[in-house]
Amino acid sequence: MTKVSCTACRAGAGLLQHYTKTGKSEKEIKKTIYHFCVNLKIQSPRVCEGITELFASEVIYVLGKVNIGPDEICSFVIGDACGDVYNPYHEWEVAFPPVPKPTVVEPKVPEVNAPTFKVLHLSDTHYDPYYMEGANADCAEPLCCRLTNGHALSKESAAGKWGDYRKCDTPKITVDNMLQHIQDTHPDIDYILWTGDLPPHDIWNQTRDENLKILKETVKQMSQMFPGVPIFPALGNHEAAPVNSFPPPFVNTPDSSISWLYDELDTQWRKWLPSSVSNTVRRGAFYSVLVRPGFRLISLNMNYCNNKNWWLLLNSTDPATELQWFIYELQSAEFNGEKVHVIGHIPPGHSDCLKVWSRNYYAIISRYESTIISQFFGHTHYDEFEVFYDHKDLSRPINVAYIGPSVSPYYHLNPGYRIYYVDGDHDKTTRGIVDHETWIMNLREANIYGYPLWFQLYSARQSFGMDALRPRDWDDLVERMTNDPQLFELFYKYYYKASPVKPTCDMECKKKILCDLHSGRSHDRKNLCQSIESRVDSSSNTTWRDWFYNTISVSVSVIMSIPRLTMQVPKYVLGLG
């Protein structure tokens, strides 16, 4: 997030707060936002209208209730790029039980040739029921490749049969083909992790009914394709309408309550989950289940850490008491000698995760490092991971969050999915990850030849030369990539799922990616990334002439961006930037 984005956020938030305090009606404010959006050509008129209608009421209501100014609001919404502004209304800590942390034992490498579970991880399907082959894929809206985008004016701008690398989501034919391929190729799957984001990116015209329809259709399809296979779902940020809008339980008015979604999740997820989870699913869309004796899975609703969830500005203190419940479940698991896998959608170290929530989560992972074996998330669409460190000793790696690739090609990506091999049922099981594979479909070739071929892109241990997949092994991989350009290039290829249209990665890009891999705690680049960034800088051999030129270029770019500032205001005010 840039300084310009931060300034735009502050200007927009300040403007809206001024309007609400001076008595402007919601209708007047909406009209102003709409005209601003259209006249500055931020989006097409229909997108401006849809965004204004869907988002403005919520944002206006929240900004009218909070007692903080634009600096605090934008530090909350954007994070450290907007400065670390102290905000007493959003400083809180979870309470740990008075139970000493067990003595830490170095994780063991799973035994060779021991039985394993084969686990499928699907994430970010973003199925688009209105995708149309031949439609304009090069539109100026948040989502293209639809009839409403018009027919393509050239062959190059036409949406392909199986999907497109531009701002287009997944056609039904591709979802169907992938699931059939998985059923044929992996008939021995033991269970499935399904980490959310089912609806497409048409965020300006979504409705509750449309999103629920997609939820029901996809649950039905998964049940039919994988009968008898346990499926453990987690909630994405796109399931709500509008997107990112997840009011905590204290917001219970009929127009604003999220019960329309959580109640249906309870009904749909009941196909795989026991009735005992109904209470927490309906209250906050999270749950805990026993997969096997001694092996527990906990699914978290990461939208309570989502800093684009404007409702949290009213009160971000452990929404739905999810983290306190999480601690209770982990403490019970520790007492019972259970090992735990955690799943969710937004990775806790991602910039979309609220800093105070992420900090508390990081402390929980550290306290229960002997119980939590692995974590699994989605959201970014990339093929990556996050290493967690002891929050009192940031040199000691203690856990790993695996971030699965998206099914959707949105955007510049090949469709993909992940297979994990988990240490299975035997006397010395660790429940650790033995290895993982990423499988993809080459979208360009599928559209050229008329039929997709799914194949294994890589396996982690073989491709990265890893003896095992313990936290220290992933930490070592980050260290090696910092010093080995060829190894980083290989990782970057897999990061984009071998997309032929992936952008070039310069030094700033490399620093960002390596920092992300090192960061299980969001908005804490100073503590988690300084060493890595320094080593990348030193390896780039930048001369003083390069430094001088880059400094001048940055200064000029900031000056030149000032006229564009006002064009970005509505976007950041509505949490879409």
Annotated binding-site ranges for Zn(2+):
124, 126, 197, 237, 345, 379, 381
Picking from 423, 420, 419, 343, the residue whose alpha carbon sits closest to that of residue 376 is 343
Tokens of residue 551, six digits: 């400094």
Which tokens is 468 given? 């095992």
Phi, psi of 506 (to 5 degrees): -85, -170
d(CA 381, CA 345): 11
Read off the tokens for 467: 């003896």
564: tokens are 């564009």
Give the C-alpha separation, 22 to 24, whole Å.
6
CB contact at 8 A, 423 and 431: yes
List the beta bridge partners of residue 377. 403
Q: Say if residues 519 and 362 touch (Cβ distance below 8 Å).
A: no
In the beta sheet, which residues pair with residue 292?
295
Answer for the pair 239, 198: CB distance below 8 angstroms, yes or no.
Answer: yes
Contact 181, 517 (CB under 8 A): no
Q: What strand order describes the sheet that includes 416-423?
A: 231-233, 191-194, 116-122, 416-423, 433-441, 454-459
With the C-alpha atoms ordered 86, 92, 98, 101, is the resulting torsion angle positive or negative? negative
The DSSP secondary structure of 460-508, one letter per residue, reads HHHHHT-S--SHHHHHHHHHHHHH-HHHHHHHHHHHTTT-TTPPP--HH
User: 517 with 385: CB under 8 angstroms?
Assistant: yes
257 burial (CB, 10 Å; 0-12 / 13-18 / 19+) is middle
Name the token pair of 184. 């044929």
Q: What's the rounded Cα separation, in Å, for the pair 15 and 8?
A: 10
Residue 197 pairs in a beta bridge with none
Bridging pattern class, strands 231-233 and 372-377:
unpaired
Q: Which residues contact 258 (CB under 8 A, 6 or more apart)?
A: 240, 245, 246, 247, 251
Count of CB atoms within 10 A of residue 177's CB?
18
Please list the residues that pair with 122 across neighbouring strands. 194
